[in-house]
Amino acid sequence: MYAMILAAGRGERMRPLTDTLPKPLLCVNGKPLIVYHIEKLASLGVSDIVINQAWLGHKLPEKLGDGQRWGVNIHYIDEGNRALETAGGIKNALELIKGDCFIVVNGDVWSDFDFSLLPQMLPEQKLAHLIMVNNPTHNLAGDFAFEDTALRSDGADKYTFSGIGFYHRHLFELVTEEVAPLGPLLRLAMSDNKIEGQHHGGLWTDVGTPERLTNLDKSLGDKIIQPQRIM
């Protein structure tokens, strides 16, 4: 199985911390954010991880290497200064991803979500399975609503998209521009009933500001987060 970790963002709100380091390399409880993802993906049996890079992107392979210490192959794809955004970045990386379905994780989130709960395959005609969480204070309006297991762009009770998802490569065939955000693409597919999801009620943080980073670090304390294995 393949996975992709999104790591090309500039991290403007995290400055000055991101003036010298890409946001996914910022540490929580002594470990870079992105390493939590790599460990969990490796424990799941993911063989190859694609990481996109842009701002200070050269520091990612310097820190992470080729992935062999975790038993995975890490492939890097450099977006330069093009700022492709999420859907554009994923489409740009498809040449490195084998198979129809793959996991995508935002490099700047932290969660105790068990990746083994992601589907192994998507149901017929579905293009994505998204993990939704309770709305944080910085996104009280939420993103998408549930209708049974389907996700809709509108609804009475919206939840926040966690940045963790399982995708079919056909979804990104709908991307027509080099620079493309993910939200409009998902809403388009939702109108055709092609996006499903599940709710995660556990821990999740979008590490978007220095304050959130500090709070997460304090909340974890000296806990050791062990990745889950599929038995």
pLDDT at 223: 52
Looking at the domain assignment, is residue 14 inside a domain? yes
Confidence at residue 54, expressed as pLDDT on a 0 to 100 scale: 83
Range of the domain at 93: 2-220
Which residues, listed in sequence order, are joined to residue 165 by a DSSP beta bridge?
Answer: 104, 130
pLDDT under 50: residue ranges of the chain: 222, 224-231
The pLDDT of residue 11 is 61
**Does residue 154 fall inside a structural domain?**
yes
Say which residue the tokens 């994923």 belong to: 90
Identify whether 228 is part of a domain.
no
**Number of folded domains in the chain?**
1
CATH number for the domain spanning 67: value is: 3.90.550.10
pLDDT digits (tens, 9 = 90+) for 41-65: 999 999 999 999 887 778 899 999 9
Residue 225 lies in a domain: no
Place of tokens 């992709």: 4
pLDDT in the model for residue 65: 94
Distance CA 94, CA 118 (A): 20
Residue 226 lies in a domain: no
Residue indicated by tokens 């040449």: 95
pLDDT at 222: 46
**pLDDT tens figures, 140-172:** 999 999 999 999 999 989 999 999 999 999 999
